[in-house]
Chains A and B, each alone.
Chain A
Amino acid sequence: MTELSTVAAPPAPPAAHTPRPGRPAEDPDLGRRIRRRSVTLDGVCAVLGSLLASFGLVWLIYERILPLTGAVGFALVWYAVFLLFLGTVTAMLWGRRAVTDRIVAALMVTLGLIIVALILDQVGYVAFTGRHALFHWNFVTQTMAEVGPLDPFTHGGVWHAMVGSLEQMGIATALAVPLGILAALFLVEVGGPMAQAVRALIQAMTSLPEIVAGLFVYALVVLTLGLPKSGFAAAIALTIMMIPFVARSSEVMLRLVPRSLREASYALGASQWRTVWTVVLPTARSGLTTAVVLGMARAIGETAPLLLVDGLNNYMNADPFQHWQTSLPLYIFEFVRYPQDAERVRAFGAAAVLMALVLILFTLARVLGGKAPGELTRRQKRQMARDRALAAAARAAAEEGGDHGAA
């Protein structure tokens, strides 16, 4: 919510500007920095006041006077009256022109809060439903081998599915990341008309139906090559889902590398691959890491392709090339369809574990990366500060020495 009145204030002249003749020298606004604050005290008070006032009014009318009940209806009416009040307050304080602006802003904030609430609700609901299974350590340290549907939650777990998921994700990452980054480099460094087509195709492949990837790998690996369904086949399906994602997000990151850095490298006589290897990739390292880790987070949650090319088993199978290898999504999908409540709870527990893995990867992506190209890490900044201090000290010492020499 911008302070509209500040727009009218005269712009601050640059500090080094000499005052023009005829301009009053002691202008109080001279040099005052104009801050366009998006949240102001007035704005917050207007919103809070409208919220409280509309709550009071609606409570009185809705609950006391009109014969209406129901929480949903109350909330809806309250919100409508709130918007009305907010519009009126805005019109009184900032003029009619600001009304649409404020109301749109309020609608947007509401929608944002609803989305946040939905996400929290998902995570919370899944963990809450699976809590009976989750509260036992054996859930993440044991497999389902020799565990019957009537066994208590102190027996059995999803360790085998976690191992399967992580292995398949690892293989998929190893295959997809080099290909994805190569394709992204092609788009950024080579370009040309073919790059346009590749870009559109990558864009299209990012929303390739999951099940089609599964069908393709089934047709290729099982029907044509004659190999059995296995964890490796699942990993190939994940690779196909991952390549476009990694390529697209790496392209965005590579594009952020300033052109001047490349030109500086060329000016020093470096060849193109040297420039890419020693300038472009290291500059974009943080962003590329984010892209890769986000891709991994995507891959670990893919379910549909696995249905066709892998199967559920209840014992540990650490070898992705032989036999079926259970992964977490597959475990969830199969267990949630069992009729027993206990199995359903296990499925929800597994979903909570899967969410936790995704969240860990996601946090990792934020911690490792998320920096703009060339932005220094905290350690590099400390190092630079140390260097600067040392240099300053050396300069001071040299000047002092010079003074002594002059004296």
Chain B
Amino acid sequence: MADTTPTEALGPPLSGAAEVPDVPRQIVARLSGADRAFRALLRGGGLAVFAITGLIGGFLLYRAWDTFRVAGWKFFTTSTWLLGSNHFGIASVLPNGLVIALTALVVAVPCALTAALFISEYAPAVLKRPLVALIDLMAAIPSIVYALWGVFFLQPRILGFSRWLSDHLGGVFPPFKVVGGDMQILFQASPFVAGLIISLMVIPIITSICREVFSQAPSGEREGAYALGASRWGMIRTVVLPYGRGGMIGAIMLGFGRAMGETIVVALFISPVYVFNWHVLHTGGLSIPGLIALWYSESTPTMISALMAAGLVLFVLTLIVNAVAGVIITRSRSGAQTAD
């Protein structure tokens, strides 16, 4: 209130003066020019992320336009990839990618949740930091190293297990059935093996987010559970897991997005069959990233445009999955604290 004179503000009102009610002074923080520039710069940094995402989508769409115009909806309903006869689509590679990603998640989610719980709840304090570092290291191991290890070390050793699964459970659980005999080669390069390798890359992603969320569970509620006589597992079941549910769902979806986009493992397998293969133990099953990695060296404009279209579908799909995951994590009770 700039118009109040000092006497009015300090002493009791003089007898002749009008009664001025006590109104709290309004605090207006005026930003200096430098600050305004600084905030604009930061805002630019935030906008740049939008811009990059928009550019990726825009350029892919621009380059894929020809394909969508020529192929139309058939692009989503055709299974084969025969460019010469203009008969191509992603009806087989897209669901194949989903099958691989789901296989990876089936293995990764229990492992990652257990690992996260162990680090945040069970591990002695001395072990916590080394374990967190180990998970970080797992995330930093290049995917090509996972792929080499998986294809040359894991695959020959896991085939026996694949056969065992198909022999004993194939009758009960149709996805485990392998049709066409008992040859070793039928079990090679299957979505199951690819999913196993990819699950190792997904585990650190899910683990680190879940660990963060679990460790934020309020100590008051933890102590309350203990005071009511819960054992540690009882406390985890009743406090930590319900608290971290949103974060867990988000983390799993992020892991799904990562598994959908994994390229190198699928590309090293190279089993270019364009049929939807839901028998996870059976050989074959190319995903969209694998398709792109397989054909990138073909430089005809039609092919490039078709690959861009496939890439665009993958991009939009993973972006939706991941963005929903991000929103779930932020909206959840655990995320509300980190975002003020």
Binding site for B on A (CB under 8 A): 2, 4, 7, 38-39, 97-98, 100-101, 104-105, 107-109, 111-112, 115-116, 118-119, 121-122, 125-126, 129, 179, 181-183, 185-187, 189-191, 194-216, 218-220, 223-224, 240, 243-244, 247, 255, 271-273, 276, 294, 297-298, 300-304, 307-308, 329, 332-333, 336-337, 347-348, 351, 354-355, 358-359, 361-362, 366, 370
- Does the CB pair A100–B233 fall under 8 Å? yes
Taken residue by residue from 234 to 261, chain B's Cβ proximity to chain A (1 for < 8 Å, 0 otherwise) reads as 1000000000000000000011011011
Taken residue by residue from 18 to 48, chain B's Cβ proximity to chain A (1 for < 8 Å, 0 otherwise) reads as 0000000000000110110111011111101
Q: Which of A126, A207, A272, A333 contacts B318 (CB 8 A)?
A: A207
- Does the CB pair B152–A200 fall under 8 Å? no
B268 cross-chain contacts in A, Cβ below 8 A: 333, 336-337
Q: Which of B48, B144, B292, B339 contacts A301 (CB 8 A)?
A: B144
Binds A, one of B4-12, B50-58, B166-174, B178-186: B50-58
- Does the CB pair A186–B45 fall under 8 Å? yes
- Does the CB pair B125–A38 fall under 8 Å? yes
B129 cross-chain contacts in A, Cβ below 8 A: 370
- Does the CB pair B145–A301 fall under 8 Å? yes
The closest CB in chain B to the CB of A259 belongs to B340
- Contact A220-B329, Cβ < 8 Å, known A212-B315, A336-B148, A358-B140: no
- Does the CB pair B34–A271 fall under 8 Å? yes
Interface centre among A108, A195, A200 (most CB of B within 10 A): A200
- Contact A183-B149, Cβ < 8 Å, known A112-B118, A115-B115, A304-B289: no
In the complex, B91 has a CB within 8 A of chain A: no
The closest CB in chain B to the CB of A179 belongs to B48
A126 cross-chain contacts in B, Cβ below 8 A: 145, 148-149
Interface centre among B205, B254, B261 (most CB of A within 10 A): B261
Q: Which of B133, B143, B203, B329 contacts A203 (CB 8 A)?
A: B329
Q: How far is the CB of B107 from chain A (nearest CB, A)?
A: 12
23 chain-A/chain-B pairs, Cβ below 8 angstroms: A109-B118, A179-B45, A182-B44, A182-B45, A189-B42, A190-B39, A190-B43, A200-B330, A203-B329, A205-B52, A206-B322, A207-B258, A208-B315, A209-B257, A209-B261, A211-B289, A216-B59, A301-B141, A303-B263, A336-B268, A354-B144, A359-B137, A362-B136
15 more A-B contacts (CB under 8 A) besides A122-B145, A200-B330, A359-B137?
A97-B231, A108-B117, A108-B122, A112-B131, A181-B45, A182-B46, A186-B43, A197-B50, A201-B326, A207-B255, A207-B261, A211-B292, A212-B60, A212-B261, A298-B139
- Contact A348-B148, Cβ < 8 Å, known A39-B124, A271-B32: yes
A332→B59 CA distance, assembly (Å): 30
Chain B interface helix/strand/loop/mixed: helix
Q: Which of A121, A211, A213, A370 contacts B293 (CB 8 A)?
A: A211
Q: Which of B39, B267, B308, B329 contacts A219 (CB 8 A)?
A: B308
Q: How far is the CB of A40 from chain B (nearest CB, A)?
A: 11
- Contact A101-B115, Cβ < 8 Å, known A211-B293, A294-B140, A332-B144: no
- Contact A354-B254, Cβ < 8 Å, known A100-B231, A304-B264: no
B142 cross-chain contacts in A, Cβ below 8 A: 300-303, 329, 351, 354-355, 358
A186 cross-chain contacts in B, Cβ below 8 A: 42-43, 45-46
Interface centre among A194, A210, A224 (most CB of B within 10 A): A210
- Does the CB pair B144–A119 fall under 8 Å? no
- Does the CB pair A307–B296 fall under 8 Å? yes
- Contact A129-B152, Cβ < 8 Å, known A220-B59, A304-B263, A329-B142: yes
Q: How far is the CB of B171 from chain A (nearest CB, A)?
A: 22
A204→B256 CA distance, assembly (Å): 11
A355→B140 CA distance, assembly (Å): 9
Interface centre among B48, B122, B145, B296 (most CB of A within 10 A): B145
Q: How far is the CB of A315 from chain B (nearest CB, A)?
A: 20
A137→B69 CA distance, assembly (Å): 55
- Does the CB pair B46–A208 fall under 8 Å? no
In the complex, B114 has a CB within 8 A of chain A: yes
Taken residue by residue from 48 to 88, chain B's Cβ proximity to chain A (1 for < 8 Å, 0 otherwise) reads as 11101101100110110000000000000000000000000
- Does the CB pair A204–B141 fall under 8 Å? no
In the complex, B134 has a CB within 8 A of chain A: yes
Q: How far is the CB of B284 from chain A (nearest CB, A)?
A: 18
A340→B302 CA distance, assembly (Å): 34
A179 cross-chain contacts in B, Cβ below 8 A: 45, 48
In the complex, B307 has a CB within 8 A of chain A: yes
A212 cross-chain contacts in B, Cβ below 8 A: 56, 60, 261, 311, 314-315, 318
A105 cross-chain contacts in B, Cβ below 8 A: 122, 232
- Does the CB pair A366–B133 fall under 8 Å? yes
The closest CB in chain A to the CB of B321 belongs to A204
Q: Which of A101, A129, A208, A358 contacts B261 (CB 8 A)?
A: A208
Taken residue by residue from 194 to 237, chain B's Cβ proximity to chain A (1 for < 8 Å, 0 otherwise) reads as 00000010010100000000000000000000100101111000
- Does the CB pair A204–B59 fall under 8 Å? no
A179→B46 CA distance, assembly (Å): 9
Interface centre among A187, A211, A220, A337 (most CB of B within 10 A): A211
- Contact A199-B330, Cβ < 8 Å, known A205-B49, A211-B292: yes
B234 cross-chain contacts in A, Cβ below 8 A: 97, 100-101
Q: Which of A111, A125, A189, A370 contacts B118 (CB 8 A)?
A: A111
- Does the CB pair B137–A38 fall under 8 Å? no
- Contact A122-B149, Cβ < 8 Å, known A111-B111, A182-B41: yes
Q: Which of B41, B60, B141 contacts A119 (CB 8 A)?
A: B141
Q: How far is the CB of B215 from chain A (nearest CB, A)?
A: 12
Q: How far is the CB of B92 from chain A (nearest CB, A)?
A: 18
Q: Which of B49, B117, B131 contacts A202 (CB 8 A)?
A: B49
A46→B144 CA distance, assembly (Å): 42
Q: How far is the CB of B271 from chain A (nearest CB, A)?
A: 14
A300 cross-chain contacts in B, Cβ below 8 A: 142
